[in-house]
């Protein structure tokens, strides 16, 4: 009987399997896969499309219903910004929790054992999609401003500067990352989305009531209340104290919980 060589072995090692080494998957490929996963389902596609659809609807609403003295770019930016504060965090939540809700985590983390690389790619894709969506929405608002002014026979008013748009974008990205943080921390789509609404809306109402009834909290609110510290971003200018308050509240309410969530993801068993 003639001897045969099994692939991956050599006669010299008497059938012992040689250790095979493979180059790690490039991070750019991980990012491209994660980006594609955000669009390749019906729910993901329509969630992304809803940003453009709602931007057009909000712009149309301003053109149709806003009084002539309110037909400025600020009105369009404000109308478009409202739905985006809800949609962008939900997109970030689903980009993370899909690995657990759709039970793809075992496959993903088998191909890319470094879970931190996967989470990093998801964060990069979420922020990238968020920034591009904000730019596109701002462009839709600009078109609406021109068209609305022409229909009303008014001069086009551009009362939002580039720096103010940059601050609004920063506020939207922070909100998006809060959704991302909750997705990492809870790893459940429903729980993370509900938690975001509590975080952004219910908690804001409770702190407003507390500030109205407690002077000590009203004085220290900027250093404690995450939502309150973000308000100056939408106003277009921040003082040095307001920047410090934003940094402190973002660290406490976003960075620390995200670090806890990342530790849980890196150490937990994936089924």
> What confidence tens digit (pLDDT) does each residue in 111-140 have?
787 888 889 999 999 999 999 999 998 999
Q: Tell me what the mean pLDDT of segment 141-168 comes to.
A: 89
* Rounded Cα gap, residues 15 and 8, in angstroms: 9
Residue 123 pLDDT: 93
On the question of pLDDT at 29 being above 70, the answer is yes
Q: Confidence class of residue 100 from pLDDT cuts 50, 70 and 90?
A: confident
* Cα four-point dihedral sign 191, 195, 198, 203: positive
Q: Tell me what the mean pLDDT of segment 161-183 comes to.
A: 92
**Who has greater pLDDT, 15 or 157?**
157
Residue 240 pLDDT: 93
Letter string b/e over residues 21-60, b meaning 16 or more CB atoms within 10 A of that residue's CB: eeeeeeeeebbebbbebbeeeeebeebbeebeebbbebbe
Q: Where are the alpha helices (DSSP H) in 153-255?
A: 162-186, 189-197, 203-213, 215-224, 226-235, 240-250
DSSP state at residue 236 = T
CB 123 within 8 A of CB 180: yes
**Who has greater pLDDT, 98 or 20?**
98
Letter string b/e over residues 138-164, b meaning 16 or more CB atoms within 10 A of that residue's CB: bebbbebbeebbeeeeeeeeeebeeeb
Q: Tell me what the mean pLDDT of segment 42-67 comes to.
A: 86
* Rounded Cα gap, residues 248 and 57, in angstroms: 36
Q: Tell me what the mean pLDDT of segment 99-111 comes to.
A: 74
Q: Confidence class of residue 21 from pLDDT cuts 50, 70 and 90?
A: low
Q: Confidence class of residue 271 from pLDDT cuts 50, 70 and 90?
A: low
For 209-221, the pLDDT digits (tens) are 999 998 999 999 9
CA dihedral 67, 70, 71, 72 (to 10 degrees): 180
CB 245 within 8 A of CB 172: no
* pLDDT more than 70, % of the chain: 90
Mean pLDDT (the chain) is 85
On the question of pLDDT at 50 being above 80, the answer is yes
For 226-243, the pLDDT digits (tens) are 899 998 998 878 899 999
On the question of pLDDT at 256 being above 90, the answer is yes
């Amino acid at each position: 009987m003639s001897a045969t060589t099994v692939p991956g072995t050599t006669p010299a090692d008497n059938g012992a399997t040689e250790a095979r080494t493979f180059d790690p998957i490039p991070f750019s490929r991980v990012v491209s896969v994660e980006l594609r996963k955000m669009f390749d389902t019906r729910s993901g596609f329509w969630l992304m499309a809803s940003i453009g659809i709602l931007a057009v609807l909000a712009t149309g609403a301003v053109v149709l219903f806003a009084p002539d003295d309110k037909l400025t770019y600020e009105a369009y930016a404000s109308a478009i910004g409202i739905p985006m504060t809800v949609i962008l965090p939900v997109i970030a939540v689903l980009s993370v929790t899909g690995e657990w809700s759709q039970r793809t985590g075992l496959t993903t983390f088998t191909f890319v054992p470094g879970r931190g690389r996967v989470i990093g790619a998801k964060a990069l894709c979420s922020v990238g999609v968020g920034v591009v969506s904000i730019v596109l929405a701002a462009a839709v608002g600009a078109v609406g401003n021109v068209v609305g002014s022409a229909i009303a026979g008014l001069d086009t008013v551009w009362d939002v500067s580039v720096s103010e748009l940059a601050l609004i974008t920063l506020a939207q990205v922070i909100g998006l990352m809060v959704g991302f943080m909750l997705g990492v921390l809870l790893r459940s789509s429903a729980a993370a989305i509900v938690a975001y609404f509590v975080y952004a809306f219910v908690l804001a109402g409770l702190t407003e009531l507390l500030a109205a009834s407690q002077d000590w909290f009203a004085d220290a609110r900027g250093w404690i209340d995450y939502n309150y510290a973000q308000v100056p971003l939408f106003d277009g200018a921040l003082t040095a104290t307001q920047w410090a308050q934003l940094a402190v509240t973002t660290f406490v309410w976003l960075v620390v919980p995200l670090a806890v969530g990342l530790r849980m993801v890196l150490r937990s068993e994936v089924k």
